[in-house]
Structure 1
Amino acid sequence: MIALDPVPHPIDTLPLRGQPDAVALEDKGGTLTYAALEAAVGGMAHWLSGLGLAPGERVATWLPKTRTACMMPLAAPRARLIHVPVNPVLKRAQVAHILADSGARVLVTQGARFPALEPGDVPADCRIVAEEELISSDVLPPSRADTDALAAILYTSGSTGRPKGVMLSHANLWLGAISVAHYLQIESEDRVLGVLPLSFDYGQNQLFSTWAAGARVVPLDYLTARDVVKAVERFAVTTLAGVPPLWVQLLEAEWPAATAARLKRLTNSGGALTRAMVKGLRERFPQARLYPMYGLTEAFRSTYLDPSLVDANPDSIGRAIPFAEILVVDGEGRRARQGELVHAGPLVAQGYWRDSERTAQRFRPAPNFATSGGMAVWSGDTVIEGEDGLLRFVGRDDEMIKSAGNRISPTEVEEAVLSGDETAEAAAFGVADTRLGQAIVVVARGDGAREHDLRERLRRELPSFMQPARYEWRDELPRNANGKLDRAALKAGLA
């Protein structure tokens, strides 16, 4: 188990934690040692520094899990730039929004993706670079960056409007890596399969926490559950992180007993595990320790449940992770047994990029009874703290849809639905779904005669995880006293 050192370092120094000749990354192309990782990150950072950008400029990546995608979270900060990872499954409209909102000066992507972008999608002062260009024989040494300086902006959907950029410092990323590597007890001999998108804090931290422990990460873009099974066998994987819909798929897949026995650590976030899932995972992977976790991008991760407590408390989200102070606060700002989960401490992000209004709503001073000073993240989620100190999730106060591990803004879905002429009014909701956690249902005004056209258009404009599963067509949609759509009535009708 790695030492729980609370002193942060620049995130780009992570490759120095592993033994130089140990394997840091393995994929279909072979292996990369820690010494080679350090050299590659230094070369990439040197290339970026040659662009003449001012410190703090943004560099976006729109890539699958290539080696470039894995190293850019370190290379950009080493060059004193801010990394903006873009989910590779996003379509051009979402990519264009993130590039414009972040003010990205560089977009690193693949030549095959160029045709997907249309005139105006990339800002005039943003240079498009193919990932194979980022090679330099010269190496930039590790930075001595102020650990409070921004290192990354991760875009996450809000309950209203378009995705917003969460600002993360070197310290946020470093301490998150140390915290997770410590409580998961990752050892240098471990092999971590990275199946989650690197644009997610959960997916990106798999890189960081693995390298913090001097272990090996195996990045994987998969299409089917069978791909994951084969990767666990091929790369002798010991650790697998997932979200509930993935566990459903993996429990339905065929697992050779010897392959299932390789896994000694399973971690879950992005939605609660059901009792049936816990039982199924226990039966399928009897050698594995199961870590349920709760988090939000604004504070990375808040809680985890010790594997020894899972069977007796399958509905709990556990206790605070190292470096996090978790408080339960009532409507009057007092400590309570049931109330809003508030996260304080050094893992709290720096706010939303260029969005002071929404920053002020979510990032507010910690309660006066908190040990940690400064800003805290007020999650909007209601939890109960038991006599045993374990927290249990009650409900989400906002209207976010959580489907297949993705946080989806209903407003963004609605804007896409209404951007055509198939319907004039629509509202999107999440409804319980055994496979996805929540499925997207759209209630729209009309007779549904053009539902086929609407579905075809959205397949072109929205990523797969944002596609509505069902449409409910109504002659009229209810309104409240202010003339707005009565969302409560619409949702109640769905229930």
Structure 2
Amino acid sequence: MNLSTALEQAAAKQGGKAAYHFLDQTATYEELNMAVQRFASGLKTLGIEQGDHVALIAGNSPHFIVALYGALRAGVTVIPINPLYSPEEISYIVQNGDAKAVILLDILVPLVNKLDASLPLVEHYIVCETNDERVKRGEPKQFSIYEKMKTFSEVINIGLLPFYPPVVDENETAVILYTSGTTGKPKGAMLSHKNLYSNARDIASYLQFSGKDRIITVLPMFHVFCLTVCLNAPLISGATMIIFPKFSPKEVFAQAKHYEATVFAGVPTMYNFLYQASEGHLEDFSSIRLCISGGSSMPVALLENFEKKFNVRVSEGYGLSEASPVTAFNPLDRPRKAGSIGCSISNVENKVVNELGEEVPTGEVGELIVWGPNVMKGYYKQPEETDAAIKDGWLYTGDLARQDEEGYFYIVDRKKDLIIVGGYNVYPREVEEVLYSHQDIVEGAVLGVPDPNYGEAVLAFVVSKNEQLTKGELMEYCRSRLADYKLPKEIEFLTELPKNTTGKILRRALKKQVLKN
């Protein structure tokens, strides 16, 4: 069993039921499965074969679902990419991921047109039509990639039926998710069909998803949290997705009330904006049976205030891309413990160990490690990184945690130096690489500081050899090379950075200075 066959079974059992609502569109399970079948056939007609890789830059839309499931049905590996990434970031992932085709929003055509020369392996650009006026004004024939372009509709239309999908082994790579790397370059976590299906199945069972559920899908689909909890798990369960192209508190409340949504999943930043929004009222979430939070720790005060205002239960969980992603969640049949990530979900084992890999006593802090059918195959083309992350089948998360006597886990600290901005991971080294690439920067250091809206914000310290260089100029330099959420909120110029005796920059000393001030 895999995600594609699970969708086929759902279509056979309840073909007339709504699979999703998106703006003014609704598709049944039968319609969705037929579109997936035609897209899979269309890919094969284009010469994209089993084992090939395609990049998917489609945002939250039916295009994303059809492309993802169509590619999986054809035995093709999908590389989801954040549409907000900078050209450099997109180019690196497409190149490193050996993508043979890129499925993209029409608004991104001008961007990839400029990148095409650096993407020699890409043979096809499949353009998702959103009727964006900026694309309409630029005649497609003016783009140098015009000969490689096909619209999404064209690919579906060239698909021949009946289409007989290839036999796909459950251990074949289904998706490669690129995560921020400590070395400054993202690493591609290879998730197999078994990894993705098992986690969707197990989290759906753990959270008691059913065909009666209507799940708000507003988290970004390219992110593994949404991919499993708000897309794959609902489709496995025969539930209905209420898809949002972007997060808007006003729209979330309106659509939740209109469709009588039963499940909301978001990161703490979203909960904060919903709580603060003047549009939000008790009756808007009256049909919600469960609120799910992940991506980063939610402040207990926010969790309790949100529950009180909307009379709902907010349950936190834990996951990471390398684990497809969910490993722990607060159980529904026992008390929810504020500040805890809950207990191990079905078929997954979490353990807290010391530096020797030995399990520590209850209550003691150690590194959280994970075992289960959801643990990734490894990092794409990075065997050394894989060996460092997976030992004897256990995934070492790098997060410090403790476990209480009832089996609930608590994250004590995150991966060293990791910054989480609105649920997105930002590694300081990645931002520092950009700073160091500026001709006037001698040295730099980046760290996370508390932020009332996004949980954390990026703060940069730099030493410049050019006294005329301004914060604004350096910020613009970073903006052209980094996604917006990775940009420093503030840049401070110093004459020197604190270092230890070996010359290593001391981020902790900088953080102490910030917190002191």
Normalising to structure 1: TM-score of the pair?
0.92
Matches of 2:307 and 2:54 in 1, distance apart?
Answer: 42
Aligned residues of 1:263 and 1:285 also touching (Cα < 8 A): no
How big is the shift at 1:308?
6.0
Q: Is the 8 A contact 2:41 2:74 kept in 1?
A: yes
Take 2:115 and 2:205, find their aligned partners in 1: how far apart are those partners?
47
Answering whether residue 120 of structure 2 is matched by residue 124 of structure 1, we say: yes
Q: For residue 394 of structure 1, give the secondary structure of its aligned residue in structure 2.
A: strand
Greater displacement, 183-192 / 255-264? 255-264
Q: CA deviation at 1:121?
A: 6.2
Q: Pick the aligned partner of 2:53 from 43, 52, 58.
A: 58
SS in 2 for 1:188: coil
1:180 aligns to 2:177 (yes or no):
no
Compared with structure 1, are the counterparts of its residues 228 and 422 closer, same or farther at alpha carbon in structure 2 (3 Å cutoff)?
Answer: farther
Q: Distance in 1 between matches of 2:98 and 2:373?
A: 27
CA contact (8 A) 1:12 1:142 kept: no
Preserved CA contact (<8 Å) 1:364 1:377: yes
- Say if 1:462 and 1:234 are closer, same or farther in 2 by CA, change over 3 A: farther
Q: After the TM superposition, which of the residue ranges 157-166 and 316-325 deviates more from structure 2?
A: 157-166
Correspondences of 1:244-259 after superposition (within 5 Å):
244-253=268-277, 254-259=279-284
Q: Is contact 1:448-1:473 (8 Å) kept?
A: no
* Structure 2 counterparts to residues 309-324 of structure 1, below 5 A: 313-324=337-348
Higher mean Cα deviation, 215-224 or 407-416?
215-224
2:5 is aligned with 1:13: yes
User: What's the offset of the Cα at 1:143?
Assistant: 4.8
Q: Is residue 106 of structure 1 aligned with residue 126 of structure 2?
A: no
Counterpart residue type for residue 138 of structure 1: L
User: Once structures 1 and 2 are overlaid, which stretch shifts more, 210-219 or 395-404?
Assistant: 395-404
Shift of 1:53: 3.2
Q: Contact 1:328–1:335 (CA<8 Å) still a contact in 2?
A: yes
Residue 376 of structure 1 pairs with residue 394 of structure 2: yes
Distance change >3 Å, CA 70–CA 435, structure 1 → 2: same
Q: Secondary structure of the equivalent of 1:428?
A: strand
Q: Is this contact kept in 1: 2:23–2:244, CA < 8 A?
A: no
Report the count of equivalent residues: 476
3-state SS in 2 of match to 1:162: coil
Contact kept in structure 2, 1:222 and 1:228, CA below 8 Å? no
CA 1:110–1:452 in 2, change beyond 3 Å: closer, same or farther? same
What SS class does the counterpart of residue 425 from structure 1 fall into? strand
| Alpha carbons of structure 1 residues 472 and 130: separation in structure 2 relative to 1, 3 Å | same
1:157 aligns with 2:180: yes
Give the conservation status (yes or no) of the 8 Å contact 2:91–2:115.
no
Aligned counterpart, 2:424: 406
Cα RMSD (Å): 1.9
Provide the rounded CA distance (Å) in 1 between the counterparts of 2:294 and 2:48.
36
Distance in 2 between the 1:363 and 1:234 partners? 45
User: Is the 8 Å Cα contact of residues 99 and 122 (structure 1) preserved in structure 2?
Assistant: no
Does 2:412 align with 1:420?
no
Q: Partners of 2:494 and 2:246 in 1: how far apart? A: 39
Q: Using a 3 Å threshold, how does the CA distance of structure 1 residues 451 and 25 change in structure 2: closer, same or farther? A: same
Hey, what does 1:260 align to over in structure 2? 285
Matched-pair contact (CA < 8 Å) for 2:267–2:296: yes
Give the Cα separation in 2 of the matches to 1:199 and 1:104.
16
User: Residue 307 of structure 1: CA displacement?
Assistant: 4.5
1:306: Cα distance to partner? Answer: 2.1
Structure 2 counterpart of 1:471: 491
Rounded to whole Å, the distance in 2 between the matches of 1:237 and 1:246 is 17
**Secondary structure of the equivalent of 1:326?**
strand
Q: Which amino acid aligns with 1:49?
A: K
What does the per-residue CA deviation read over 1:244-291, in whole Å, with 9 as the maximum and x for residues that have no partner? 1111001011213321212221101111122211212211221x3322
- The Cα of 1:351 is off from its aligned counterpart by 0.7
When residues 306 and 41 of structure 1 are mapped into structure 2, their CA distance, relative to the original with a 3 A threshold, is same
Instruction: Give distance in 2, aligned partners of 1:278 and 1:74.
Output: 35
TM-score, structure 2 as length reference: 0.88
Partners of 2:284 and 2:371 lie apart in 1 by 40
Q: Cα 1:52–1:69, aligned 2, differ >3 Å: closer, same or farther?
A: same
Are residues 310 and 427 of structure 1, via their aligned partners in 2, closer, same or farther at CA, if it must alter by over 3 Å? farther
* 1:94 maps onto 2:89 in alignment: yes
Is the Cα contact below 8 Å between 1:290 and 1:307 reproduced in 2? Answer: no
Is residue 138 of structure 1 aligned with residue 130 of structure 2?
no
Q: Shift of the alpha carbon at 1:450? A: 0.9
Change (3 A) 1:88 1:353: same
Q: Which amino acid aligns with 2:83?
A: P
Query: 1:410-461: CA deviations, max 9, x gaps?
Result: 1111122233345331111112223222111001114685101112233333
Cα distance in 2, alignment partners of residues 448 and 359 from structure 1:
44
The Cα of 1:182 is off from its aligned counterpart by 0.8
Q: Shift of the alpha carbon at 1:309?
A: 5.2
Aligned to 1:250, the other structure's residue is in SS state helix
Mapped pair 1:35 → 2:30: yes
3-state SS in 2 of match to 1:153: strand
Give the direction of change, closer, same or farther, for the CA distance of 1:376–1:197 in structure 2 (3 Å limit).
same
Name 2:69's counterpart in structure 1: 74
Contact 1:93 1:121 in 2 (8 A): no
Structure 2 counterpart of 1:296 = 320
2:240 maps to 1:216: yes
Contact 2:59–2:105, Cα closer than 8 Å, also in 1:
no
Is 1:285 aligned to 2:306, yes or no? Answer: no
- Paired with 2:36 and 2:164, the residues of 1 have a C-alpha distance of 9
